[in-house]
Amino acid sequence: MVTNLLNVKQHNARALLIHHRWKIDCIYDHLDRKERDRMFREAGIVLQENINGKAPPSRVVNCMVCFDEFSVGAVSTMECGHYFCNDCWTEHFKASVDSGKKQIRCMGVKCPVVCDEAVVQQLLAGKYPDAARRFDRFLLESYLENNDSVKWCPSVPHCGRAIRVGAGERYTEVECPCGLGFCFACAAAAHSPCPCTMWDMWEVKCNGESETVNWILANTKSCPKCFKPIVKDGGCNLVTCKCGQCLW
């Protein structure tokens, strides 16, 4: 949908969706309120037609990281126009994957552009195949962890499936093909018509941890989006839950 709407490549569409936490409505809204190019820049996207003569100038070029000379075939150029040797790119990608990054930025000084994931996969697969597989996993997890409409099945052992619901169905009870039924909102066992917050307190009380519940009630504030308890211990008043909701 995004590639057709904006006429962009798949990796650019994915970068835009990750930036907006996989909410297409937010993309529509930003497209109405902002210029198309500005929306892309904020998501770390530069389209190739906007590059002004930054391609390698000759058959032999200098890598501005290791300062060695390479043929054009041993150099990769990102859509922002920055180019470096494939060895330096590969080590940069490996370090980024090791640090858990789902989006890898260009090595250019202060360049915010997200690297083409196809180039990342290609270079990593040649030297670090395990890192390439982890990066592919990161892309999948970005869709699952940042998307309000998709959630992993909480089965133990994990069945490897994810459940997707429609808009406005976050608080429904679902059943995975593995046979496990659960509440989509909190991933606990199906507990309708009991609200998730009350169910959580009941579970803790049944497990003999009533004092823990009292402390949570006295010292935390529930996120209005995912209902997880959040504790604020010092710092400024701006607190953001892991689900992306701003509190206080």
Q: What angle do CA 53, 43, 166 make, to 5 degrees?
A: 140
Q: Give the H or E element holding residue 141.
A: helix 129-145
Lookup: tokens for 129: 């195949």
Q: Could you say which of 176, 236, 241, 243 is catalytic?
A: 236
Q: What angle do CA 204, 210, 214 make, to 5 degrees?
A: 110
Is 85 considered catalytic here? no
Residues 80/68, Cβ–Cβ less than 8 Å: no
- From 121, 108, 101, select the one nearest 79 (Cα to Cα): 108
- From 149, 154, 148, select the one nearest 179 (Cα to Cα): 154
Residues 170/148, Cβ–Cβ less than 8 Å: yes
Q: Give the H or E element holding residue 240.
A: strand 239-240
Cα(175)–Cα(178) distance, rounded to whole angstroms?
A: 8
Cα(6)–Cα(24) distance, rounded to whole angstroms?
A: 12
Q: How many CA atoms lie within 13 A of 61 on its CB side?
A: 21
Cα(248)–Cα(153) distance, rounded to whole angstroms?
A: 31
Q: Which residues are catalytic?
A: 236
